[in-house]
Amino acid sequence: MQLLIKNIALLVQVEQGAPVHSLAGKNMQQLPVLENAFLLMENGRITDFGPMETCPLVQAAQVLDATGKMVFPCWCDSHTHLVYAGSREQEFVYRIKGMTYEEIARQGGGILNSAQLLQQTTEEVLFDSAMERLAEITRYGTGAVEIKSGYGLSLDSELKILRVIKEMKKHTDVEIKATFLGAHAIPQQYKTNRQAYISEIIQHMLPAITREGLADYIDVFCDTGFYTVEETSEILQAGALFGLKGKIHANELAVSGGVQVGVQHGAVSVDHLEQIGQQEIDCLLNSQTMPTLLPGTAFFLNIPYAPARQMIDAGLPVCLASDYNPGSTPSGRMAFVLSLACLKLQMLPEEAINAATINGARAMELQQTHGSICRGKVANVFITKPMPSVAFLPYAFGSNLVETVILKGKVVHTTAKG
């Protein structure tokens, strides 16, 4: 089945020459576009695109007219925790009254609060609520997403989350990667014997999870009050033995050593990075690890933003993701993440778009199939409402400019009239 979009005012993030797998430094400003273009999709893939004058006369089954509108590759959101139970607005109120995220966590709130709720929730209920969140982010233009476990913190509950993620993969055309985050917090009953919980992760959870093929990556929250560098190293090493590469939480709350330990273990990405300096930047410059920034978290927790400008100016790539989770970022709306990146991280709109598309794909090792408009790539794209320029998207921070979402070459959502 063919789908043709014609009269596209601007086709954004087109790859014409040699494939680009991620963009770093000054190159992050390069956002290749085509004016007055067409895009042809067939059997779930992008088969052709180009200027309207060269639009082939196809007997396309479906034709969409995008006059005045733009077409983007769908967002690649490489860091979320969207399988969770309940919500945590009470903690949001505590923070308004002056408590910090760490204080709430120390008192058994935070991640442990979500873990308790999740342990009491059935797989079916978790699946339904996670599918609703997935449908929501799909409407906002996300076409590939990484989802972490980490609100289980026991063998059964971690398996429960990861099985939900596996089931989700069967019910969506959003590309999903799963990450095992047993090391998200130390459960209350292990507070005085951390090593016993780490052994549980390594000796019981990892083998069970990999036996069922439930995870693509392994994650550790390497930060003050959570996991130390040594513990992170031990867990990443064990994950590697089971074939899982790292995608880790690093340097959110403190200069934790998380960046260095992630890079040492060849992590695909190190995420958060609100607390980094020149040493971490130098370490990342000598690596293949994608630095991933989550400005929605800094916004919601009122903590400092990551130094994206310094990182890009030093020649690094930067990826943007939502961190959608009930505690620190109850939102998976990538367009707002882009607005924050522009306003708070001083990223240019073009840099932010690259960070949320091709670099996001790279952070999930999906750069061969997602993250740009390229012949042969999966046809996950969205059509915007009429927009005067690319910068309008992060500028109009409160508006949902995503009008039609196409996954694997099929329209899955539209608010377009007619």
In the list 152, 327, 332, 394, the residue contacting ligand NIG (rule: CB under 6 A) is: 327
Q: How far apart are CA 362 and CA 276, in angstroms?
A: 22
332 touches ligand NIG by CB under 6 A: no
Q: Please give the structure tokens belonging to residue 397.
A: 């921070």
In the list 328, 339, 357, 384, the residue contacting ligand NIG (rule: CB under 6 A) is: 328
Which among 383, 344, 345, 377 is positioned nearest to 361, based on CA atoms? Answer: 377
Q: Is 322 left (phi over 0), alpha (psi -120 to 50) or beta?
A: alpha
Least Cβ distance, residue 294 to ligand NIG (angstroms): 7
| Nearest position to ligand NIG, beta carbon | 327
Residues in contact with Fe ion by the rule CB under 5 A: 323
Q: Which is nearer to Fe ion, 274 or 323 (CB)?
A: 323
- Torsion sign, CA atoms 167, 169, 173, 178: positive
Q: Which is nearer to ligand NIG, 216 or 350 (CB)?
A: 216
Q: Segment contacting ligand NIG (CB under 6 A): 107-115, 306-314, 350-358, 400-408?
A: 107-115
Least Cβ distance, residue 327 to ligand NIG (angstroms): 2
Least Cβ distance, residue 351 to ligand NIG (angstroms): 22
Q: How far apart are CA 88 and CA 151, in angstroms?
A: 13
Least Cβ distance, residue 300 to Fe ion (angstroms): 12
Q: Please spell the DSSP secondary structure of 212-275, one letter per residue.
A: TT--SEEEEEESTTSB-HHHHHHHHHHHHHTTPEEEEEESSSS--SHHHHHHHTT-SEEEE-SS
Q: Which is nearer to Fe ion, 9 or 248 (CB)?
A: 248
Q: Which is nearer to Fe ion, 143 or 327 (CB)?
A: 327
Q: Tally Cβ neighbours within 10 Å of residue 89.
A: 10
Task: Choose among Fe ion, ligand NIG, none what residue 289 binds, the Cβ cut-off being 5 to 8 Å by kind.
Answer: none
Q: How far apart are CA 146 and CA 19, in angstroms?
A: 23
Task: Choose among ligand NIG, Fe ion, none what residue 292 binds, the Cβ cut-off being 5 to 8 Å by kind.
Answer: none
Query: Which residue type is seen at 216?
Result: D
Mask for 285-324, x = binds ligand NIG (CB under 6 A): ------------x-------------------------x-
> Would you tell me the crossing angle of helices 110-119 and 155-170 to the nearest 10 degrees?
80
Q: How is residue 48 annotated by DSSP?
A: E
Total residues interacting with ligand NIG, rule: CB under 6 A: 12
- Torsion sign, CA atoms 359, 361, 362, 368: negative
Task: Choose among Fe ion, ligand NIG, none what residue 260 binds, the Cβ cut-off being 5 to 8 Å by kind.
Answer: none
Task: Choose among ligand NIG, Fe ion, none what residue 404 binds, the Cβ cut-off being 5 to 8 Å by kind.
Answer: none
Residues 206-235 that bind ligand NIG (CB under 6 A): 221
Q: Segment contacting ligand NIG (CB under 6 A): 28-36, 167-175, 197-205, 325-333?
A: 325-333
In the list 111, 147, 283, 341, the residue contacting ligand NIG (rule: CB under 6 A) is: 111
Mask for 248-287, x = binds ligand NIG (CB under 6 A): -x--x-----------------------------------
Q: Segment contacting ligand NIG (CB under 6 A): 110-118, 186-194, 284-292, 402-410?
A: 110-118
Q: Which is nearer to ligand NIG, 143 or 326 (CB)?
A: 326
Beta strands in 58-192 (DSSP E): 62-65, 70-73, 75-80, 142-148, 175-183
Q: How is residue 152 annotated by DSSP?
A: -
Least Cβ distance, residue 366 to Fe ion (angstroms): 19
| Residue in the block written with tokens 């099985």 | 163
Least Cβ distance, residue 291 to ligand NIG (angstroms): 15
Which among 105, 170, 173, 117 is positioned nearest to 411, based on CA atoms? Answer: 173
Q: Please spell the DSSP secondary structure of 171-213, one letter per residue.
A: T-SSEEEEEEEEETS--GGGTT-HHHHHHIIIIIIHHHHHHTT
Task: Choose among ligand NIG, Fe ion, none what residue 355 binds, the Cβ cut-off being 5 to 8 Å by kind.
Answer: none
Q: With b meaning 16 or more CB within 10 Å and e meaning fewer, what string describes 13-52?
A: bbbeeeebebbbeeebeebbbbeebbbbbbeebbbebbee
Task: Choose among ligand NIG, Fe ion, none what residue 372 binds, the Cβ cut-off being 5 to 8 Å by kind.
Answer: none
Q: Which residues bind ligand NIG (CB under 6 A)?
A: 110-111, 114, 221, 249, 252, 297, 323, 325-328
